Amino acid sequence: MKPLEGQVALVAGATRGAGRGIATMLGAAGATVYCTGRSVRGNLASGASRPETIEETAEQVTALGGKGIAVRVDHTVEEEVEALCQRIRSEAGKLDVLVNDIWGGETLHELGLAFWKQSPAKARLMFDRAVYTHLATSRYAVPLMLERDRGLIVEVTDGDSFGYRGGVAYDVTKMAVIRLAFAMSRDLRRTNITAMAVTPGFLRSEEMLDGFGVKEANWRDAVKNVPDFIASETPSYVGRGVAALAADPEVHRRAGRVVASWTLAREYGFTDLDGSRPHWAEYFERTYGKPYTVADEAAYASWLGGSIEIVCPDWPKY
């Protein structure tokens, strides 16, 4: 019995990487998955340097036992996002899972460069592609969940801590996604809809493999040049984590929080595709001899009990 049989998911940004891994694993659990992105066969996204398409992702979803539906959407265009959600309502009549994995910042982040040397234009485009798109997609997708008072929203980020990420624009983008999950959870606190954030570890994505000159079959050959790559994981690992969250009747306990793929693997008992269970935090502590910080309940404490919720406890207006 597939745990997500009959559920409908939207994975926004499903072309490759974590988005594809999440879409395919939701499919493997039986879900119908709308796979969106800008790259389609015969018409890759403007400036795209990768060959992957949303049709490929949808076909993989179907091959694994789900139903994959590819829809070309530019999530920076509000009208296209609204039309997508209207289509989902018309065809499926509901939405159970929303995954916001839109990124598009591969050529924009300037890690290791001081902010006064970074390009404001690149930063602005990154914010537009990787933060605005998440907010706009949630704006039009969540009403489908509200109609049934149930659902799961997953914001895909990088890192399960509030620590600096090595570049101001990149750091603000990834922290904004974590904060977005938290803020949405506050607006949704009187519903049965859960908003949260999830992070993969060192992702063995298509782009990363190509960058290191290896394939999935021989990925360990890259470890001699990049030792930390030994602790990497496939996109399916975080995908299995999201599928487990979607099947968990008590997922609401994670509302507003960020959680890592390796933490989910320990809790739900799944492995990566090769049977391994990568754990970036343990690898980090063992290799670098420093504690790995995580955004636990203590870290979130100062985010809770804001004055607006005390002065105006009935906000927001539904």
Report the predicted TM-score, pTM, of the whole model to 2 decimal places: 0.96
What would be the CATH architecture of the domain defined by 8-311?
3-Layer(aba) Sandwich (3.40)
Q: CA–CA separation, 297 vs 140, rounded Å?
A: 30
Q: How far is CA 66 from the centre of its chain?
A: 19
Reported as half-sphere exposure (CB side, CA atoms, 13 A), residue 117 has a value of 6
Active-site positions read 170
Q: CA–CA separation, 227 vs 215, rounded Å?
A: 16
Range in 38-52, 244-258, 263-277, 291-305 with the lowest mean pLDDT: 38-52
Q: CA–CA separation, 215 vs 213, rounded Å?
A: 7
- Whether 189 and 214 have beta carbons less than 8 Å apart is answered as no
pLDDT tens readout for residues 41-91? 877 766 667 888 999 999 999 999 999 999 999 999 999 999 999 999 999
Of the candidates 271, 230, 229, 265, the residue with the CA atom closest to the CA atom of residue 245 = 265
Domain ranges of the chain: 8-311
pLDDT category of residue 201 using cuts at 50, 70 and 90? very high
Looking at residue 46, what is its pLDDT?
Answer: 64
